[in-house]
Every structure is written in structure tokens, then in C-alpha cells.
Structure 1
Amino acid sequence: MDNSLKGQVALVTGGTKGIGKAIVDKLSNAGVQVIVTARTAAKEITNGQHFISADLTQRESAETLAKEILGKYGRIDIIVNNAGANLSPGGGFSALSDEHWINDWQLNFMSVVRINKALLPTMIEQKSGVIINISTGAAKQPIWEMTMSYSSAKAALNVYSKALANEVGSKGIRVNVVSPGVVKTPLMLEFIDNIAESSNITSDEAFKAVMDKVGVPLGRMAEPEEVANLVAFLVSTEAKYINGTNYSVDGGALPTI
């Protein structure tokens, strides 16, 4: 990794735990001024990181965030739209209410659209910037029993990201997608425990069921840092000709190239 990130200003949403925290730490260690946002603060914010509390499912949050970031730093170089979660119950179409669909789409799709819309004008004025939208392998390989509404929102995010990359590439802004598979995060471990409880099986049995369903040739979950490493590369000048691409970090789970 080169020194191109030193002194840049980045926003990482959902940055207090799991993949988001790993990305925050990686960028901070590379000399980036990182603004972290989540609903609740982490126990510890280090390395000069700037925390802003925000509920990204609320329409006004993006504008409030943008105002505070630009008021304090005057620029934005990197946006990592990491906040997201599978909020809905399993069980397929009949288990999902309108509210389930709306909640998944608000958090996993509309929050990204709003953050980018609020901050892109500054990137366009700067004639530079990088946006990374964190998606999921489930957007290409949905599991109807577990991820129907979540997968559909993330699939929309993939299409939106490609369209946005085509629109703003000529303005000096790159947009790429990173799609993790099964990652060892608090949310994933909670998801597995919920499956275990609802199915009356052990957590180990639930983990095996998920891994068998997804089919990971490497046979393990990813560590959050393994996703963060790719994000750090993609936002650096070493990746300055990479735009409009979706990268899988899934241990080989996606059955196609």
C-alpha cells in the first residue's frame, strides 16, 4: 500500500463493529481522518476518529451528517457505505410483512442513496473521490429461507452502484462494490444463534447448516480484516483505474466467475 491515503477524509457508516470497525481501523492506520457513524457509539474511538451518532434509516440523517462533516473538514475524499443488516425473519415470502420489506430497503439501499446524494456534490466540486458500497454475496445468491428482502435491497444497491459509477466516473469519482460472504461479525454470530434457537439445535449445528447452504470452499468464515484489506486497496491510488466493479470476498462461495 502506498501513502496516498494520508490526510484524506473518509466517512464509514456502521463503523463501530464488525466489518465497519475493521475498515475504520485500517484507514486510520493509513493516516486517514475517519468519521465514524452508527446508531450507538463504540466503547472506544481511537486514532483521532470522529464519531457522529446517526440513524441512517431516517431521511434527515444524511443531510445532518454531510453538514457536520463538511463544516468541520471542508471536504470528503472517501465514502464507505457499510451500514446494513438483514433485519427480517426467515421463512420466505409469507413471513415478510410490508414493514419488513420497507425496513430492509431503508437501511440497505435508501441510506446509501441519501448519503451519496448529500456528499457527492462536494466530490464533484473537488473533481475527486471514491465511494465503496458494501453489498453481500446474497445479492447474487439469495437464500429464500433467510435473506429474501435483504438480498433484494442489496441487489438494487449493486445496480445503483454500477449506474452511479457510469455517471460520475468522468467527474473524477470512482464507485465500486465489495460483496462479503459469511464474515465473523457480531451480527453474523447473532444470526446463527437465532437460527439455532428457532430450530432447536446447537449453534455449531446452525453454523454448519449455514455453511452447507452457502457452500464456502475455504470452509470458514472470513475475518473482518480480510474485507477491510480490499477496501483500503480500492480507495487508494493503486486502484485508480478500477471503477464500476463488484468484488466478492466469499472464500469461493459464488458458483460462477
Structure 2
Amino acid sequence: MNAPVFSVHPDEFAGRRVLVTGGSKGAGAAIVRRFAAAGARVATEARSAVSDSPAELFVAADLTQESGISALAGKVQAEFGGVDIIVHCLGGSAAPGGGFRAATENVWQDDFSLNLWPAVRLDRLLVPAMIARREGAIVHVASIQHRLPLHDSTTPYAAAKAALVSYSKSLSKELGPLGVRVNSVSPGWIRTDAADRMVERLARSGGTDEATARQGIMDALGGISIGRPAWPEEIAELVAFLVSPRASAIHGADHVIDGGTIPVV
């Protein structure tokens, strides 16, 4: 099955200033493409430059460092005069397997530095201008692992994403009366290039085919009702809806997009 292609109105976000963190690959890149196709002025960042991003503004910055946060915020304010929409998509983990004993102090620090602090610090710098205009929308991209952690290797990541969702909810209570909407999005397994490479590695190491390896991953997650991971483009569509005027009453909620992976209400 190929990635879905959605019809996008070229003026849907015309003139809107959008910042997407982690926009060089995976869901982040799909979100950048979605907003750019809809007429937005899009800024994004990654640690190193990319050649094929449709973003109007690209900033090479390490957002695990306060200096990187300041550089990104300063560049966006200088070039765009601020932002109307912020999508925090930066995230990930390099935690080893082996459960809590293998999660060293550095692993915990790294996962929180990547999955929580950039959102908190960037919001602190960019949201005051939204409040002054009494207009804006923020989406924090978390993960279903804040509700369904895999204890062997993702406890620090899951805890950081849980903190991000809690922070998002608290921020929504503060900013809602000031005209700024805040939501979080919690994807399940996403079919990115990195995910496909992982499937290929598992197939080779297991002496099987990619379909079997992909099914093995879904089984490890407890199953996915629709029988497949989500595409990055599907995550981007949800994000675009949430920050659009069509979702003007949707605020302070965590939106799961996991194909039915979480088996409870």
C-alpha cells in the first residue's frame, strides 16, 4: 500500500506563519509539506541542513541545547515577525533495551532533553506574542507510549512524552482564555523511512520477509486494528485540522492516531 494523497486547498493557510520542529524527516517532514502546500510560510529546523524541504525558512539548530532554542526563536522572529502556529514534532529516543536497569542517568536526561524541554522553552519565547494578538494554535506531538509504554526500552521516552502531554494540558488551561488553542497528538507506529529500514533489518536477521517482520512489530504492540501503521501524511492531516478554524472549539485534548492500537476506552 502506498502513502495516501490528500487534496489540499492551496490557500488554506495562506499567509499563516508556521513553525514545525523536527521537520526534516518522518511525520515532521510530512507536516512541513502539508502546510507549505496550503500556502503557509513555514519555518523548520534540524541539526543539519536538508536540501529538499519546501519550508521557506530552515534553521540548523540543536534544540536539546538552550542556545539552539534561542537561535531558532530569534531567526523566526527576525524573518517572520513571530508565528501563528507552532507544531512541536521533535522527538525520539536512543535508549537501549534491558529495562530500567539499562536506562542510565544520561539516557533519562537525553530523552527529556529531546522530547520535553524544546517545547517548553520554545513556547516560553514565542507564545507571548500570540497572547498579545489573542490568536494562535499549538500542537505538541507526543506518542501513545505515554499510555502504553514498552518497558524493555522506552520507559524514559514514554515518561518524557507523558510529561509533554501533561504540560500541554496545563498550558491549554492558561492560554485558552487568552485566545490561544493548545492540543496534543499521540501517534502510534508511523510508517516512516526509518521504520521501513527497521523492518528490513528484522526481516534479514530473522530470515523472513518484510510482511512477516512488519506483522511481528504489530504483534509486539498488541495489534493494530486497521492492520497497518499510520502514514506520516495522516499525522499531518490531523495536525492541520487541529490548527485550522474548523477545529476552533477543540482545545486542551490529546488526540490519539494509532489505528486502534490502544485497546481500551
TM-score by length of 1: 0.93
Residues 112, 191 of structure 1: alpha-carbon distance in 2 compared, 3 angstrom cutoff = farther
Looking at structure 1, the residues matched to 20 and 119 of structure 2 have their Cα atoms a distance apart, in angstroms, of 11
Mapped pair 1:149 → 2:159: no
C-alpha root-mean-square deviation of aligned residues, in Å? 1.9
Aligned to 2:4: none
Q: CA deviation at 1:206?
A: 4.5
Aligned to 1:174: 181
Deviations 1:25-83 (A, max 9, x none): 1111111100011112222133x521111111101222221111111111210000001
Query: Structure 2 residue aligned with 1:53, among 60, 63, 68?
Result: 60
Look up the equivalent residue of 2:20 and give its one-letter code.
Answer: V
Query: Structure 2 residue aligned with 1:14, among 3, 16, 22?
Result: 22
Equivalenced residues, count: 254
Contact 2:139/2:183, CA 8 A, preserved across alignment: yes
Contact 2:29/2:53, CA 8 A, preserved across alignment: no
Deviations 1:160-191 (A, max 9, x none): 00000001111100110111101011333355
Looking at structure 2, the residues matched to 92 and 166 of structure 1 have their Cα atoms a distance apart, in angstroms, of 35
Mapped pair 1:252 → 2:260: yes
Contact 2:82/2:126, CA 8 A, preserved across alignment: no
Deviations 1:116-169 (A, max 9, x none): 111111111111111000000111100111311110100110100000000111
Task: Please show how residues 31-180 of structure 1 align to structure 2 within 5 Å.
Answer: 31-46=39-54, 49-180=56-187
Look up the equivalent residue of 1:201 and give its one-letter code.
Answer: G
Aligned to 2:5: none
Mapped pair 1:201 → 2:170: no
Gap runs ≥5 in structure 2? 1-7
Contact 1:4/1:237, CA 8 A, preserved across alignment: no
Query: Structure 1 residue aligned with 2:229, among 206, 221, 225?
Result: 221
TM-score by length of 2: 0.90
What SS class does the counterpart of residue 60 from structure 1 fall into? helix
Residues 193, 91 of structure 1: alpha-carbon distance in 2 compared, 3 angstrom cutoff = farther
Looking at structure 1, the residues matched to 59 and 154 of structure 2 have their Cα atoms a distance apart, in angstroms, of 29
What SS class does the counterpart of residue 120 from structure 2 fall into? helix
Residues 116, 190 of structure 1: alpha-carbon distance in 2 compared, 3 angstrom cutoff = farther
Aligned to 2:217: 210
Query: Structure 2 residue aligned with 1:30, among 22, 25, 38?
Result: 38
Gap runs ≥5 in structure 1? none
Looking at structure 1, the residues matched to 77 and 152 of structure 2 have their Cα atoms a distance apart, in angstroms, of 42
Deviations 1:87-124 (A, max 9, x none): 21122101111101100000001111111111111111
Residues 92, 196 of structure 1: alpha-carbon distance in 2 compared, 3 angstrom cutoff = farther
Mapped pair 1:187 → 2:183: no
What SS class does the counterpart of residue 52 from structure 1 fall into? strand
Write out the 4+ residue segments of structure 1 that deviate beyond 4 Å after TM superposition.
Answer: 1-4, 190-197
Residues 67, 27 of structure 1: alpha-carbon distance in 2 compared, 3 angstrom cutoff = same
Contact 2:21/2:88, CA 8 A, preserved across alignment: yes
Look up the equivalent residue of 2:80 and give its one-letter code.
Answer: Y
Contact 2:12/2:39, CA 8 A, preserved across alignment: no
Aligned to 2:3: none
Looking at structure 2, the residues matched to 228 and 151 of structure 1 have their Cα atoms a distance apart, in angstroms, of 22
